[in-house]
Structure 1
């Protein structure tokens, strides 16, 4: 479980996050949604300690991520997997080498053990036989799958996905959503997804946090979001649902 408490962050006097709190439960796919500029990505960076908030804290199963020595933080980081927007693969490394990278950096596993783990993760995301390819030789959807394989190669307790459907066609987006949900359920991971994709919201949103101008304005799930009457949420849902239909050619 991840708990964020009263997170506030500003840049150059502009309040980006304002007293945001919430709980992301183990085994659930939790979504943070909102329009561009509402603080979604900054919240993710605060949770990963890439940006330090002026106030508040993030707890990983009760462990405060902002206190303690560097070794304590490394222990928590080893339990994290991150799917970056765009995949963020190393162009000069093969698919296999990209997935193996966290094992090389953070573990003392032998080469055979690392090879087995990488092949298992590539198989789990449906990419058997692609290990020798370069990122330039695979599609955008495959790159996202490689990113997911790399994110789970350390067998994480916490999985973070930053706009996993960015740049993908609707059908591929659905497949990526399904894969994230399957992995969350199968490995009982605490998963946090940053998105504005309404298809994701309606299909995999076990828990949904809606940010508006840096504040948490609403919280619910995929069953309750369409029936809520918060005006800012209604506008977000309508605009993004219409955009999704346009992209799907409907």
Structure 2
């Protein structure tokens, strides 16, 4: 479980996050939605330690990330898996080398242990046949699956996904959503997804937070979201074709 309490952040005098508070449960897909520039990515960066909030704290199973010593912070970081928006694969490394990278950097496992873990993760995302390929030799959807394999190779307790469907066709996006949801439930991970994709919201959103100009204006489940009376959320939702059709 992850708890964020009164997270606030400003840049150059502009308040980007305005006291955001929420709880994200393990085994659930927690989605953070909103338009561009609403603070979604900044909130994620505050949660994983890339940006320090001006106020507030982030608790991982009760451990206060920003008010702990370096040893505790490093322990929490090792429990995180991150799927970056662009995949962030190393072009000079093969698929299996990309997946193995966190193990090489953060563990003292034997070569065989690393090979076994990488093989398992690639098999889990359906890419065992692509292990020796280079990133330039695989599709965008396959790159996202490599990113997922790398994100789970350390057997994380917490998984963060930044726009996992960015740049993908609708069918591939559905497959990526299904894979993330399956992994979340199977391994009881606390998963947080930053997304603009309303298909993701309706299909896998178990807990959804809507940000608008740095404020949390709504939080709930997908079955309730289309009933909202929050004007800003209604505008965001019904600008999407899928939601317009559902409203009819």
Q: TM-score, normalised by structure 2?
A: 0.97
Give the ranges of 4+ consecutive aligned residues of structure 1 lying more than 2 Å apart after TM superposition.
240-245
Tell me the alpha carbon deviations over residues 130-176 of structure 1, each in whole angstroms, 9 at most, x when there is no partner. 11100000000000000000000000000000000000011100000
Question: In the TM superposition, what is the alpha-carbon distance from 1:244 to its structure 2 partner?
Answer: 10
Residue equivalent to 2:136: 136
Query: Structure 1: any 5+ residue segments left out of the alignment?
Result: 246-250
Distance 1:163 1:221 in 2: 19
Aligned pairs (5 A) from 1:139-178: 139-178=139-178
Question: In the TM superposition, what is the alpha-carbon distance from 1:242 to its structure 2 partner?
Answer: 5.6
1:17 aligns with 2:17: yes
> How many residue pairs are counted as aligned between the two chains?
245
Tell me the alpha carbon deviations over residues 203-240 of structure 1, each in whole angstroms, 9 at most, x when there is no partner. 00000000000000000111110111111001101113
Tell me the alpha carbon deviations over residues 3-30 of structure 1, each in whole angstroms, 9 at most, x when there is no partner. 0000000100111000000000010000
Q: CA RMSD in A?
A: 1.3
Which secondary structure does the structure 2 equivalent of 1:142 belong to? helix
Query: Structure 2: any 5+ residue segments left out of the alignment?
Result: none
Tell me the alpha carbon deviations over residues 174-195 of structure 1, each in whole angstroms, 9 at most, x when there is no partner. 0000000000000000000000
Residue equivalent to 1:80: 80
Do the aligned residues in 2 keep the contact of 1:197 with 1:244 (CA within 8 Å)? no
Residue equivalent to 2:27: 27
Tell me the alpha carbon deviations over residues 84-116 of structure 1, each in whole angstroms, 9 at most, x when there is no partner. 001100011000000000000111110001000
Do the aligned residues in 1 keep the contact of 2:237 with 2:243 (CA within 8 Å)? no
Question: In the TM superposition, what is the alpha-carbon distance from 1:243 to its structure 2 partner?
Answer: 9.6
Distance 1:53 1:11 in 2: 10
Residue equivalent to 2:198: 198
Residue equivalent to 2:112: 112
Which secondary structure does the structure 2 equivalent of 1:38 belong to? coil
Do the aligned residues in 2 keep the contact of 1:198 with 1:241 (CA within 8 Å)? no
Distance 1:72 1:188 in 2: 22
Do the aligned residues in 2 keep the contact of 1:198 with 1:244 (CA within 8 Å)? no
